[in-house]
Amino acid sequence: MGQGIDFARISGRQILRRRTRLILTILGIAVGVAAVVAIVSLGEGIRAHSIEMISEQSDLTLITVTGDVRDGAIIPLTAAKASALRNIAHVNGTAPVITADLATPHQTYVGAAGIAWEDFSAVFGPEFSKGTGYDETTDSAILGSEIAESLRKYEGIRVGDDLTIRIREYDASGAPVDTEVVFPVAGTLRPRGDMFDTLLVTDTARVEEWREGYGAYDVIYLRVDTPGHVFAVAEDVRGLGLEAQGPFEEIEAVNRLMDAVIIILSFFTGISLIIGAMMIINTMMVTVYERTREIGITMALGASQRHVLTLILLECLYIGILGGIAGDILGILLSVGINTLGKSFIISQLGTGFSGFADADITLVTPALLAGGLVIAVTLSLLAGIYPALKAARLNPVDAIRRGL
């Protein structure tokens, strides 16, 4: 412990002997770190605000599951798949749906969805402008806000009335046969802003009567407990061979885009880091050359190669720490500058879809980002110092003393 403190003190004194050189070397590494911090903070800021905008405009806890095609084989949404989906962790509810295209005797198009009422309630939490939910024992149905308004306006159908639907089937000879089915309208939904605004919703068994032998659902909706678990649930769904869709895909797309942008821009900023590393190598090589006699005397007095190696690398460690701290500070200042001076330009280039950024900071500097900048600086400094340190440690003490005379 005492020896380590002595080494740290000696290395600290050595780098302070030539302060101008030290400052220039620190700036060399700081500029590279600052560029990385500023670019990553810009990417993370755009990412965070994009995700926030998607979250405010979408229902992130709803996943739409459909069948998929794997290796040329169709994977349908069977009852077994529906059961497996219910058992996925963090899924609070599932709503298997069968759909049908119907029409009234007056040729008003009506899209129908068959869902068990308990599932519809658990997943979608319906709210009614009039009436109540449907009852499987009475074969009743509910109407979305838009289809309800259309049927009221053109056919005079209101809550409590019977809605007649004409279903066309074909006999053995291929001739069309129309069957009329009556739905008591139990209620109308409040506007939701989704597909249910245009649908008639009734019990699954009612729709299955017209889809006999189909044997699969058209879609299954999942309700996840929190937005944070949506991605894990989506992966579990895909693991069953099914397709998972929903607003979370927009977040995935944003993440992929910003990851690519950050990687590409960081590649170019890496050039400045390489320059900083070259400055450290140059500085330490000059230092070793200037202190050749000193190093030789130290080794002649009993210092081992490991001791010399440790002293040189400690100097590099100090440079890395100071360069990392200076780089983080410069990075914060650059991020503030981007947010203050460059925000309007960046938003104008991104388009009107990002106009919501105008009221918030477009950059995001986090403690993790600053810690990453410090780690980059220290790691780069230590790597750059390995060659000078090895060169110093391998000096012959006698030759080093003579060379320094």
Q: How confident is the model at residue 360 (pLDDT cuts 50, 70, 90)?
A: low
pLDDT at 2 over 60: no
Tokens found for residue 326: 């200076």
Q: What pLDDT does 29 receive?
A: 85
pLDDT 10s digits, 144-168 = 999 999 999 888 899 999 998 887 7
* Mean of pLDDT values over 72-93: 87
Taking residues 227-239, what's their average pLDDT?
89
pLDDT grade for 405, boundaries at 50, 70 and 90: very low
Average pLDDT estimate for 246-267: 79
* Residue 93 CB contacts under 8 Å (≥ 6 apart), including other chains: 119, 122, 123, 222, 223
pLDDT (mean) for 214-219: 79
Q: Please compute the mean of the pLDDT values over residues 288-309 and round it to a whole number.
A: 74
At residue 325, the pLDDT reads: 93
Mean pLDDT of 331-350: 76
Q: How confident is the model at residue 293 (pLDDT cuts 50, 70, 90)?
A: confident
Both structure tokens of 134: 């449907």
- Binned at pLDDT 50, 70 and 90, residue 128 comes out as very high
Buried b (16+ CB within 10 A) or exposed e, 108-117: bebbbbbbbb
The larger pLDDT score, comparing residue 117 to residue 391, is at: 117
Q: What is the pLDDT of residue 35?
A: 87
Q: Which residues of 282-313 are buried (b: 16+ CB within 10 A; e: fewer)?
A: ebbeebbeebbeebbebbeeebeeebbbbbbb
pLDDT at 190: 94
Query: How many other CB atoms are found less than 10 A from the CB of residue 375?
Result: 13
Does residue 272 have a pLDDT over 50?
yes
Under the banding of pLDDT at 50, 70 and 90, the label for residue 352 is: low
Asked if residue 102 has pLDDT above 80, the reply is yes
* pLDDT band of 233, cuts 50, 70, 90: very high
Q: How confident is the model at residue 38 (pLDDT cuts 50, 70, 90)?
A: confident
- Which range is least confidently modeled, 174-183, 288-297, 343-352? 343-352
Other CB atoms closer than 10 Å to residue 195's CB: what's the count? 14
In the chain, domain spans:
2-57+252-403, 62-246
Decide the pairing of beta strands 109-114 and 199-202: parallel
Output 348 or 86, whichever has higher pLDDT: 86
The pair of three-digit structure tokens given for residue 167, joined into one six-digit string: 């279903």
Tokens representing residue 169 in the block: 């089937």
The 3-state DSSP class for residue 17 equals coil
118 or 314, greater pLDDT: 118
Taking CA atoms, 192 is separated from 131, 142, 187, 226, 387, in Å, by 16, 14, 14, 20, 67
- CA 404 to chain centroid, in Å, comes to 58
Closest CA to 27 of 259, 325, 240: 325
Mean pLDDT of the chain: 82
**What average pLDDT does the segment 94-109 reach?**
87
pLDDT-based confidence at residue 371 (cuts at 50, 70, 90): very high
Q: Alpha carbon of 24 to those of 19, 281, 323, 386: distances in Å?
A: 9, 13, 10, 20
Contact 280, 377 (CB under 8 A): no
As a whole number of angstroms, the distance between CA 240 and CA 81 comes to: 8
Percent of the chain topping pLDDT 90: 22
The fraction of the chain above a pLDDT of 70, given in percent, is 87
Question: Where does residue 395 rank: exposed (0-12), middle (13-18), buried (19+ CB within 10 A)?
Answer: buried
